[in-house]
Amino acid sequence: MSIDRNERSYVANHAVGFFVGLLVGGLVGSATMLLVAPQSGKKTRAKIQQEGLDLRDQVVETVEDAVAEGRGQVRRTAAKVRRQTNKLQRRGQDALDAQVEIVTDVVEAEKEAVQDLSKS
């Protein structure tokens, strides 16, 4: 499918028209904004600068709060892990003690069995 010369010209003209309209609209909007602005450019720049500083302060405060909350969460998690570790360690020690007691009982029973055999 080939596009003939008239169609290409039509598309090109509309594209150029669109960009010219965009440029003229931007210029008209900028001029209107300057004419209707409630304060001078100097005041506007000062206001923008102050709002930028306020925004920066808000961001810093929010980040500091998030960091503090993160640290608190880390402390709570670490304490929970320590408690769980201690609990597991106690359970492991209890299991080990129980196994030692069983082995000791078996060894004692074997000693008695060997002594009984040697007496006979």
- pLDDT recorded at residue 1: 47
pLDDT means over runs of 10, the chain (120 residues): 61 72 82 72 80 89 91 93 96 96 93 83
Q: For residue 111, give its domain range.
A: 82-120
Domain assignment present for 117? yes
- pLDDT recorded at residue 9: 67
Domain count, the chain: 1
Rg value, the chain, Cα: 42
pLDDT per position as a tens digit, 9-35: 666 667 777 877 888 888 888 777 766
